[in-house]
Amino acid sequence: MFFLRNAWIIPAIPVASFWVILLFGKRLPKKGSEVGVAALAIAFALSCLTFGAWIARDAKPAAEVVAATAPATAAGPGHVEGGEGAGGAHELPSETHHAEELRPAVDRNLFTWFEMGGTKVEFGTHIDGLAVTLLFVVTLISLLVHIFSTAYMKGDRRYTHFFASLSLFTSGMLILVTARTTLQMILGWEIMGLCSFMLIGHWWEEKPNSDAALKAFFTTRTGDVGLLVGVSILFFGAGRTFDAATINAAALSGRMPHWVLLMGATALFVAVIGKSAQFPLHTWLPDAMAGPTPVSALIHAATMVVAGVYLVARMYGVFWKAFSITAPGHAGFNPVAIVGGLTILIAAALAFVQNDIKKVLAYSTVSQLGYMVMGLGVGAWMGAVFHIFTHAFFKASLFLGAGSVSHGGSHHSFDMKKDMGGLKKHMPITFWTFAVSSVALAGIPILAGFWSKDEILLGAGKNGYTVFLVVGLMGAMMTAAYMTRCVYLTFFGEARGNAAHHHPHESPPAITGPLVVLAFLSVVAGLLNAPGITLFGKWNLNEVLVTAGVPEHTFNYGYAAVSTLIAATGIVIGGLWYFRNLGPHGITQRVKPLHAGYVFLDNKYYLDVLYTDGVVGSIKGPIARGAYWVNQNVLDGVVNGVGIAARRVAQFVYDVIDQQVVDGAVNGAGFTAESGGSLLRVFQTGRVQNYAAIMFGVAALSALGLAVLVTK
């Protein structure tokens, strides 16, 4: 219980280490890296203890939780339409999660963050299965990335800053996952945005890197419009509270009008699209490869992009109700599922045409995030969360493996076609860990990716989202094929370029160590939720799932067989094409329509052109310049015009009325042009008193009008 109540310490540790490294890092013997590694080691140990405490927590019947909100959700999970014709159209009312296995979340308020307008906003932690799972994953991956970086970043020009940023980055994600309120989530979310900016732009001397950093920050920030708006809508919708659990409960209870939920969920989902790199805002993620490789591993596996998926998982009551995800008679699609599904295919297709190994992995991440989002969209909450968990291990392993290849094999190049090939014999550990992780990603049993992907597909099929089942299966085949291509180009065939000329060698233990750990987890992590074990599902059960009645499906051998077969087909096709050199090679050069398709892919669907030149370019260029032109010529023109006109009127008054009429009456017409001119110069020298007098005159006239109106 102690660890559950004091989980706030875990995010606090990397925050502290950030400050220590920033302020004193350069003076330490290892330039601050030791502080980072130690901090994460402690944080990881605490996360394990917290996880242990959570497992040890008694599962209490949450009858009262259910009772409180049951009437509104009585229709709940119930009847689900099956796919058309797929062996009996109707499933039985599907099983829901067992309330008696629910471990109640541990909430704690630490202090009052602020109080205003009669609303008290607390800063606190909300610890449940989802939180402890992510605490474990994030601290573990981050620790391994820290260790890896001590060797990989050795001698870097900003070694100390790099570690400081890594620590802060990790703390951002930890703040997000332990957050009790949506406001704290914004805090963690934006800290990660900041750190991704610093880390992607780590080598800011070169413009492409700083461009990538800006693009990442700017794109995710565009999505954040949705976050600010969505949090505001839900704040008022749930009765002036930022508390996530209360908002979920309010959503599920039916107290919130559906349109409010729909607006809130849609707005939040815009933020998710930005942060989790979903189509059409995914374009920043591949560019983010400009950062050092360990950063990519951290961003892709455990932080940043997972944040978006986490937000949906955390606020699932809102999404579930707003999009009627498993409500009877649902349409079979919703924005969440559609965006996720599209992302799977669109990103997987792009992975085929990349020559940069990190970009293959980046598009693979985008595609896998699509699975998670789609999983949440089709009601497979547990599958999606499980996929966060397993994906973290194999994707971190793959990225760090790519880093290892560039470190020892290809002499800092990431170009598979130019500088790699045949590295298998030189880098056996890197090869084996990379290969195992690739198979895990491809979804071959009994490796990790298989189990989690299978749960998502199962959910799509059983909850009546047949189209998305097909999409998921297609994606699985593509995944298997492009990973085969990637492994082949990197490790097999003839050594090319740097790999041929620079004496490839295995990387040092600080690099291979993390690889081995991650590869091991890529093999076994999926077993946690294998049939007969299903521990992951029990640990991650939460109030929302029970109250909402999110359906749970037991392992189905039919689905598993089909998905395995399809993944295997993908590997075989990839293998035949690359290893055996079979198939119509060069067809994209010969056949015009296919060539056009290739060019279209090669240009990333022209989205970058649209955004960079179309949107950003026009705002930065013509629109901003136009607005400024209006400012200088229209708005300021009026101001200057008034000034000039006032001066002219005054001149007239002085010259004609005062000097000629009034003064003329006194002195006759004896006025010399000379003295008039000198007085005129007084006006034009810009003496403030004169202007003030004139302006006061103008004001007085307006005032007269005002006075007349007021006294009426």
Partner 1 sequence: MLNTLDTWALTLAVFIPLAGVVVLGFVDRTWEKGLKGITLLVSLLTLADGIYLLARFDYGASDALQFEVNRHWIDAINSHYHVGIDGISLPMLVLSMFITVLCVVYSWDHFPEPYNPKSFLMLILVLEVGMNGTFVAEDLILFFVFFELVLLPMYFMIGVWGGPNRQYASIKFFLYTLFGSALMILGFLAIYFKGGQTFDIPELVAKGGIASHVTELWIFGGLFMGFAIKVPMFPFHTWLPDAHTEAPTVGSVILAAILLKLGTYGFIRIAIPILPDAAKSWAPWIGGLAVIGIIYGALGCLAQRDLKRLIAFSSVAHMGFVMLGISTLTSYGINAAVFGMVAHGLITGMLFFLAGSIGERFGTREINRLGGLLVQAPKLGWILGFCAMASLGLPGLAGFWGEFPAILSAYQPAAGLNEALFRGYMVVASIGTVLAAGYLLWMYQRTAFGLPRDEFAEAHIHDIHTPEWIAWTPLLVAIVALGVYPHLLFHVTTDAVDGVTAALKAVGG
Enumerate residues 228-287 that contact partner 1 by CB under 8 A: 228-229, 231-233, 235-236
How far is 87 from 306, CA to CA, in rounded Å?
A: 36
Judge contact between 491 and 431, C-beta under 8 A. yes
CB nearer to partner 1: give 20 or 429. Answer: 20
User: Which pair of structure tokens corresponds to residue 14?
Assistant: 């990397």
For the CB of residue 192, give the shortest distance to partner 1 in the complex, in Å.
Answer: 11
Give how far Cα 106 sits from Cα of 42, 128, 156, 179, 192, Å. 22, 6, 43, 12, 25
Residue 74 or 710: which CB sits closer to partner 1? Answer: 710
Pick 228 or 572: Cβ nearer partner 1: 228
Site track 166-185 with partner 1 (rule: CB under 8 A), x = hit: --------------------
Q: Is 26 in the site for partner 1 (CB under 8 A)?
A: no
| Of 308 and 475, CB closest to partner 1 | 308
Measured from the CB of residue 650, what is the shortest distance to partner 1 in angstroms?
A: 13
Among 222, 247, 223, 174, which Cα is nearest to 7's? 174
Token code pair at residue 712: 């009426």
In the three-class reduction of DSSP (H, G, I as helix; E, B as strand; rest coil), residue 413 is classed as coil
CA distance 418 to 410: 9
Binding mask 77-116 for partner 1 (x = CB under 8 A): -----------------------------------xxxxx
Q: Give me the 185-224 binding string for partner 1, x by CB under 8 A, dash otherwise.
A: -xx--xx-xx--x---x--xxxx--xx--x--xx--xx-x
Q: 3-state SS of 63-129?
A: HHHHHHHCHHHCCCCCCCECCCCCCCCECCCCCECCHHHCCCCEEEEEEEEEEECCEEEEEEEEECH
Nearer to partner 1, 74 or 116 (CB): 116
Task: Enumerate residues 615-654 that contact partner 1 by CB under 8 A.
Answer: 616, 619-620, 623-625, 627-628, 631, 635-636, 639, 643
Type of residue numbered 565: L
d(CA 689, CA 693): 6
- Residue 428's CB is within 10 A of a number of other CB atoms, namely 13
Place of tokens 């019947």: 61
Q: Which is nearer to partner 1, 579 or 628 (CB)?
A: 628
Supply the minimum distance, in Å, between the C-beta of residue 322 and partner 1: 17
Check residue 464 and give left, alpha or beta (phi > 0: left; psi -120 to 50: alpha): left
Residues 126, 108: Cα–Cα separation, whole Å: 7
Interface region with partner 1, contact rule CB under 8 A, candidates 129-137, 317-325, 403-411, 698-706:
698-706
* CB closer to partner 1, 220 vs 293: 220
- Considering the complex, state which of residue 603 and residue 618 has its C-beta at the smaller distance from partner 1: 618
Phi then psi dihedrals of residue 108, to 5 deg: -150, 135
The distance of closest approach from Cβ of residue 254 to partner 1 in the complex, given in angstroms and rounded to an integer, is 21
DSSP 264-302: HHHHHHHHHHHHTT-TTSTTHHHHGGGS-HHHHHHHHHT
Looking at the Cβ atoms of 203 and 432, the one nearer to partner 1 is 203
Site for partner 1 in 658-697 (CB under 8 A): 686, 688, 691-692, 695-696
DSSP one-letter code for 506: P
Nearest to 290 by CA among 203, 354, 166: 203
| Min CB(8)–partner 1 separation in Å | 14
Closest CB to partner 1 among 193 and 294? 193
Rounded Cα–Cα distance for residues 587 and 585 (Å) = 5
Enumerate binding residues for partner 1 (CB under 8 A).
112-119, 186-187, 190-191, 193-194, 197, 201, 204-207, 210-211, 214, 217-218, 221-222, 224-225, 228-229, 231-233, 235-236, 616, 619-620, 623-625, 627-628, 631, 635-636, 639, 643, 686, 688, 691-692, 695-696, 698-700, 702-703, 706-707, 709-712
